[in-house]
Amino acid sequence: MSNPILHLEQLSVRYGNTRALNQVTAKWEGGALGLLGPNGAGKSTLLRSILGLVQAEAGLITVLGENAGISGINVRRKIGYMPERDCWIEGLSAVSGLAHLGEVSGIPSQSALPRAHDVLHFVGLAEERYREVSSFSVGMKQRYKLAIALIHDPDILLLDEPTNGLDPSGRSSMLEAVNRIRKDHGIHVILASHLLPDVEQVCNRVWVLNKGALIRDESLSNLTAAARGAKRVQLQGDDNSRFVQKALESGLLAQTESSTSVVVSKSEGIVDPSEVFDLATSAGVEIAGIQPAARSLEDAFLETLEEEI
Amino acid sequence: MAFRAPSYIRLAEARTKHPSWWAIWRITFIRGWKSTWVRRLTIGAIAQGVAITLVMYFIQTVLPGWRTILRDLGQLAGQDGGMSVNEFDSRFYLVALQWFVYPFLLPIGALLGHTLITGDLKSNALEAYFSRPITPGAYLIGRTGAFTAFLLLVTLAPLLWIWLFDVLTAPDGHFEKVAMVPLGMSAAMGLLALTVALFVQAVSSFTRNGTKTALFLVTFIVLSGSLGPIFSKITGEVSYLAIAFYQDIFTLANGLLDWPFDADESPPFQLALGVILAILLSSLSALIFQIRTKGRVG
């Protein structure tokens, strides 16, 4: 088995009396990881602990095989971080500030400026590169933060709420850019967001955090595929018990919504309507209608949180 | 404007081996130089140093024995102590120090100090810095080092220039009288510049405002400069003069130039050094506290 990109072992972080992360243990093999959770779940704290911006109370963080607590400098060399809050270097133009941050990350000064121009071009700020960042709009500041994360060409990108404040087209462009970085260049991405469609669009794995605890670690397909192929079956009559029993016997998942409505799904794959008709025939019931019972990541997420409560 | 990312290019180039604080030092220095008033004051201080040497050159040309004449005139007037210059020796540099500290060092401190760490605190730049391979210590060295270098550029550099000119144009035997100047002045100015750099940044990290920082500094210098002599007069105890910051600067330089003290008009050297070190260390602690709490660095 390959080395995990990120390995957390019993990670706990505390702010005063508040426990922000509580004994989180998880492994991530790479790709694109979505961090989901309600406000205050510990998403940003997790990202900041990986970077060493907040001190872990206990536990171990290993990034690309290196202990982040011991080799923090080496780990940060490989990580690009897009913080949630706006940030820039005061008194410098966008391109100079970005080149400077590149130099801080170890890019030679003669290469930092051309690199800053390239990255600003990539995030769509080529026209505004000589302006001070403080005069940028919200959307432009978001893109500038992506540039800050990319300037030193990291192996892992940590994005904290990257689409906050963006209009729909800006949001789609941002996610498209992140997808291209990941797919075309193999840069691993960790995306913390409360916007579930963002995670759905970019990530292939999801960690759901709640009150500082990791409550679910699952591939996105596992989390939503069953639901995406689910069918809501309307039955004639008011006794669905035989239908449900037959469905369970066939290895399907059956969830009763009412006496005449059952949602049928598979743990993997899509439920074919012909399977539903076969079930109805064997159960001796008549079907009044079949509809897709699509469940989005949002449904899965809310369901996970409800299970916790 | 939606952005259509044209291409992302991976960086193949090897990383530099420069220490991480170097980039911060460099940009801080460039930023200081780009500030109109900081640049004007720096040029002004250097020009003042050059002007003094030009005057010395002119007098040397017209009146080659001017150093002896100056000493004789001083002795005739009975000026053999205090601040009066009756001989062009180390004491001259103590007087000249004030021509650079008050009009140049303190204004540059107030102008530049509030834009550095405070600017980073205001624009949340610390998060961008500390997510990179740099430690808070290296960051502090970069910012404060460049600021200190600016302050030395307007004080120590012109003084050393004057000293060099003085040594090169003086008759034999003069070097012994000013031999302590480079070392003593470098130590005194180095400590003073570092203290001012840390102090101004610490104050501005709390005020978060250039005008408030400048007002605080003026109040601090005026108030400490008044209270020291007042307490000293009331109690008859010369140690109270150490409350006056300007007095500490002068005493520190005096001691490091190895010049005899006027025990009635200066606080003890150890006390003056202690006050300056206390300001330096408390400013450093305040800055570390601000970086750790406001910058949320664990």
Task: Provide the β-strand partners of residue A12.
Answer: A58
End-to-end CA distance of chain B: 37
State the pLDDT at residue B54: 95
Report CB contact under 8 Å: B8, A181.
Answer: yes
Q: Select the residue from A15, A98, A100, A118 to test the B interface by mutation, using most B Cβ atoms within 10 A.
A: A100
Rg from Cα positions in chain B = 23
- pLDDT bracket for residue B280 (50, 70, 90): very high
Which of B10, B124, B297 is facing A86, going by the closest CB pair?
A: B124
List CB contacts (< 8 A) between A180 and chain B. 5, 8
Residue A225 confidence class, pLDDT cut points 50, 70, 90: low
Q: What is the DSSP string of B213-275?
A: HHHHHHHHHHHHHHHHHHHHHHH--GGGGGGSHHHHHHHHHHHHTTPPP-TTTS--HHHHHHH
Residue environment code for A155-194, b if the CB has 16+ CB neighbours within 10 A, otherwise e? bbbbbbbbbbebeeebbebbbbbbbebbeeeebbbbbbbb
pLDDT at B298: 44
- Separation of CA A204 from chain center: 8
Instruction: Collect all residues with Cβ–Cβ distance below 8 Å to A13 and sequence separation of at least 6.
Output: A19, A20, A21, A42, A45, A49, A54, A55, A56, A57, A212
Whether the pLDDT of residue B297 is over 70: the answer is no
The residues, ordered by sequence, that sit 6+ positions from B284 with a Cβ below 8 Å of its Cβ are B198, B202
Q: A231-293 maps to which CATH number? A: 3.30.70
What pLDDT shows up at residue B78?
Answer: 65
Residue of B nearest to A167 (CA): B2
Contact B189, B275 (CB under 8 A): no
Contact (CB<8Å) A83/B131: yes
Strands A213-219 and A205-210: antiparallel
Contact between chains at A90 and B133 (C-beta distance less than 8 A): no
* Bridge partners, A18 (sequence order): A15
Structure tokens at A163: 């689409």
The pLDDT tens digits of the residues spanning B56-71 come to 999 988 988 888 888 7
**What's the rounded Cα separation, in Å, for the pair A287 and B6?**
52
Strand A213-219 versus strand A261-265 pairing type = unpaired
Neighbours of B224 (CB within 10 A): 17
B244, B271 Cβ separation under 8 angstroms: no
Measured between beta carbons, the chain A residues lying within 8 angstroms of B114 are none
pLDDT winner (highest mean) among A63-72, A93-102, A195-204, A300-309: A93-102
pLDDT of A230 over the 60 cut: yes
Determine whether the interchain pair A90/B120 forms a contact, defined as Cβ–Cβ distance below 8 Å: yes
Which of A53, A169, A185 shows the shortest C-beta gap to B131?
A53
What is the maximum span of chain B, computed from C-alpha positions, in angstroms?
84
Which residue does chain A place closest to B27, by CA atoms?
A: A100
Q: Which residue has the higher pLDDT, B69 or B33?
A: B33
User: Rounded distance, CA A153 to CA B8, Å?
Assistant: 9
**Residue whose entry in the numeric block shows the structure tokens 């010369």:** B238
Cα–Cα separations (whole angstroms), residue B123 to A162, B18, B129, B227, B258: 18, 26, 12, 38, 46
Q: Which of left, alpha, beta for B166 (phi over 0: left; psi -120 to 50: alpha)?
A: alpha
Determine the Cα–Cα distance for residues A76 and B279; give it in Å rounded to an integer: 34
- Better-predicted residue by pLDDT, A253 or B87: A253
Please give the torsion angle defined by the CA atoms of residues A250, A251, A252 and A256, in that order, rounded to the nearest 10 degrees: 80
Q: If you average pLDDT over every residue of chain A, what do you get?
A: 88
CATH topology for A1-78+154-222 is Rossmann fold (3.40.50)
Amino acid at position A161, single letter: E
How confident is residue A194, by pLDDT bands cut at 50, 70 and 90?
Answer: confident
Q: What three-state secondary structure class fits A180?
A: helix
Cβ separation of A107 and B13 shorter than 8 Å?
yes
Q: Which two tokens stand for residue A17?
A: 């009396």
- A284-296 burial: b if 16+ Cβ within 10 Å, else e: ebebeebeebebe
* Residue B93, burial from CB neighbour count under 10 angstroms (0-12, 13-18, 19+): buried
Mean pLDDT score across all residues of chain B: 88
Q: How far apart, in whole angstroms, are the C-alpha atoms of residue B24 and residue A97?
A: 11
Contact of A260 with A244, CB cutoff 8 Å: no
pLDDT in tens, A136-180: 999 999 999 999 999 999 999 999 999 988 888 889 999 999 999
pLDDT at A306: 66
Percent of chain B with pLDDT over 70: 93
User: Which position has the token pair 């595929």?
Assistant: A225
> Once rounded to an integer, what is the mean pLDDT over residues A55-82?
92
CB-count burial class (<10 Å; 0-12, 13-18, 19+) for B221: middle
Q: Do B167 and B175 form a contact (C-beta atoms < 8 A)?
A: yes
Give the separation between CA A92 and CA A70, rounded to whole angstroms.
Answer: 33
Cβ atoms A235, A262 nearer than 8 A: yes
Least Cα separation, residue A91 to chain B (angstroms): 7
SS3 A34: strand
For B124, which of A85, A169, A180 is closest by C-beta distance?
Answer: A85
Q: In whole angstroms, what is the distance from residue B191 CA to residue B269 CA? A: 14
Average of pLDDT values for B237-246? 90
| Element (DSSP H or E) covering residue A20 | strand A18-28
Is A89 close to B27, i.e. CB distance below 8 A?
yes
- Region A110-139: mean pLDDT is 93
How far apart are alpha carbons B246 and B250 in whole angstroms? 6
The pLDDT of residue B192 is above 50: yes
Q: CA-to-CA distance for B253 and B262, rounded, in angstroms?
A: 13
